[in-house]
């Protein structure tokens, strides 16, 4: 298993279990080398993280590839969403919350209720590991104009 994925899974377990021990100490006992990525209680734009309260807990992970010039379209997330840029450069517009640029090796908890649009301004594809942390019936991505 890739070291970053092992660290990501350990981070997710830590967040979900609510371990009272700090992240590096909790993981250090299981792994020889630890590279913390993100430990937070808020999204990138300052929203407090909250999980769906109904339905079976579900974690879904995938790698999103965006071609040069491609955009996500304006959307929100119905569940906490972690992103980790594997390659390329991603720019996300958060409206009045400003723009952020994410480069390879950057991990972040994506905005949930704040509408945002991601785009690939570069000449190479952007690859992002995305982890949705919610429940079976919860919508991971809500496109502008859809109901949650």
Give the Cα separation of 97 and 67 in Å (integer): 25
Give the Cα separation of 142 and 81 in Å (integer): 12
DSSP string, 62-115: EEEEE-TT-B--SEE-SS-EEEEEEES-EEEE-GGG-EEEE-TT-EEE--SSS-
| 14-69: pLDDT as tens digits | 444 444 445 555 555 677 888 889 999 999 999 999 988 888 999 999 999 999 99
Contact 75, 143 (CB under 8 A): yes
Q: Is the pLDDT of residue 107 over 50?
A: yes
- The rounded percent of the chain whose pLDDT value lies above 70 is 78
Predicted structure pTM score: 0.76
Return the pLDDT at 53.
85
Mean pLDDT computed over 80-102: 98
Better-scored residue on pLDDT, 13 or 53: 53
Region of 93 please: left (phi>0), alpha (psi -120 to 50) or beta. Answer: beta
């Amino acid at each position: 298993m890739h070291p970053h994925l092992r660290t990501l899974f350990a981070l997710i377990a830590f967040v979900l279990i609510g371990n009272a021990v700090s992240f590096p100490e909790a993981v250090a006992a299981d792994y020889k080398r630890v590279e913390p990525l993100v430990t937070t209680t808020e999204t990138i734009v300052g929203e407090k993280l909250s999980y769906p309260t109904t339905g079976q807990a579900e974690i879904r992970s995938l790698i999103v590839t965006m071609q040069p010039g491609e955009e996500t379209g304006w959307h929100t997330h119905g569940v906490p969403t972690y992103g980790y840029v594997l390659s390329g450069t991603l720019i996300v517009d958060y409206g009045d919350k400003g723009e952020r640029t994410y480069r390879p090796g950057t991990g972040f908890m994506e905005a949930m209720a704040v509408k945002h649009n991601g785009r690939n301004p570069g000449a190479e594809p952007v690859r992002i590991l995305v982890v949705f942390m919610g429940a079976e019936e919860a919508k991971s991505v809500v496109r502008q104009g859809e109901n949650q």
